[in-house]
Amino acid sequence: MEDIDLRPLRIAEKKILAEGIWLFELAAPGGGELPPFEAGAHVTVETPSGKRRQYSLCNDPAERHRYVLGIKAERPGRGGSSSLVDETSEDDEIMVSAPDNSFPLREAPDHIFVAGGIGITPIMSMIRHLAARGQTNYRLIYCTRDAASTAFLDDLSAPPFAERVTIHHDGGDPNQAYDFWDLFEKAGKAHVWCCGPAPLMEEVRGVTGHWPQSAIHFEDFATDAGAARADDKPFTVRHAETGETVEIPAGQTILDTLRAAGHKTPSSCESGTCGTCKTVLVSGEADHRDMVLTDEEKQGHIMICVSRALSDELVLKW
């Protein structure tokens, strides 16, 4: 992560929202207003294990006295969200950044929200914001495994949301996934806001390929999943102009490795969604894992915060 300022906030409330999902309400230690945020914003939190994680704010942005986070403890955890859930109590102070927003809600004639699992968090803030202004020009499709794992189920099953929300349970079976085609078959004037696991976002990207791409928005850092996979292999990156080579270990991203080697590589989301770390790919076969590059852009670019290599070497201009 880039250097960001963190300040202590108090855990004013901590409670279970749904199976494996916790609600954290954060407030200024002495009370008072917090820095403002807009719908879709997130904060960076330092966990007790020393890791930094980004979490979307899920309350109405008009509220200035608190930040409300929905946190899923990945099991088995990697010491990030699970450490936050397991090693903190109400009234503890944790280090939190000011809000940032890589998924801002824009004015649009209509809004279609698609959330999967814990990806509901930024979208809760968005629909709360719209509802608070009396707007009804939206609908939400919210996909979860079952009722027990559905955060905010009570809120979404009651006015003003219930009539605009479809909650779909797939029972953990990919064959029972929601069929989005009817919703997106005809390109409309709506903007689409999608947050959830990669398969859901890939599905939505696939069924909206004929929509204006400027109307389709994705966010995915609401999970601990990151980009690491058990079968990741080391590879080399070489600078196209200087010839410098850097070995990328299996458990480390290109971004982190270049940074450790002293290069100033810009980043923001570090989850392949914001576009900040876009880097020129000169040659080599990339293993693209981002959600921002188009197929055309993938020919000559790579998002170095998440993507890796299928070939032994990538030649880049970082």
What residues make contact with ligand FES under the rule CB under 6 A?
267-270, 272-277, 290, 292, 303, 305
CB of residue 157 to ligand FES, shortest distance in Å: 34
| Beta-carbon count within 10 A of 236 CB | 15
CB of residue 78 to ligand FES, shortest distance in Å: 19
182: which 2 tokens? 């009817």
Q: Which is nearer to ligand FES, 21 or 286 (CB)?
A: 286
Q: Which is nearer to ligand FES, 2 or 146 (CB)?
A: 2
Q: Which is nearer to ligand FES, 141 or 277 (CB)?
A: 277
Burial class for 230, CB neighbours closer than 10 Å (0-12, 13-18, 19+)? exposed
Omega cis (within 30) before 29: no
CB of residue 290 to ligand FES, shortest distance in Å: 6
CB 54 within 8 A of CB 44: yes
CB of residue 138 to ligand FES, shortest distance in Å: 26
Alpha carbon distance 112, 221 (integer Å): 20
Alpha carbon distance 123, 103 (integer Å): 10
Strand partners, 286: 309
CB of residue 297 to ligand FES, shortest distance in Å: 12
Q: Which is nearer to ligand FES, 97 or 150 (CB)?
A: 97
Q: Which is nearer to ligand FES, 131 or 198 (CB)?
A: 198
What torsion, rounded to 10 degrees, do the Cα atoms 106, 209, 305, 258 define? -120
CB of residue 100 to ligand FES, shortest distance in Å: 12
CB 62 within 8 A of CB 56: no
Q: Which is nearer to ligand FES, 1 or 132 (CB)?
A: 1
What torsion, rounded to 10 degrees, do the Cα atoms 27, 32, 36, 42 define? -10
CB of residue 306 to ligand FES, shortest distance in Å: 6
Q: In sequence order, which residues have a C-beta less than 8 Å from that of residue 95 and are 6 or more positions away?
A: 6, 7, 8, 9, 45, 46
Q: Which is nearer to ligand FES, 193 or 221 (CB)?
A: 221
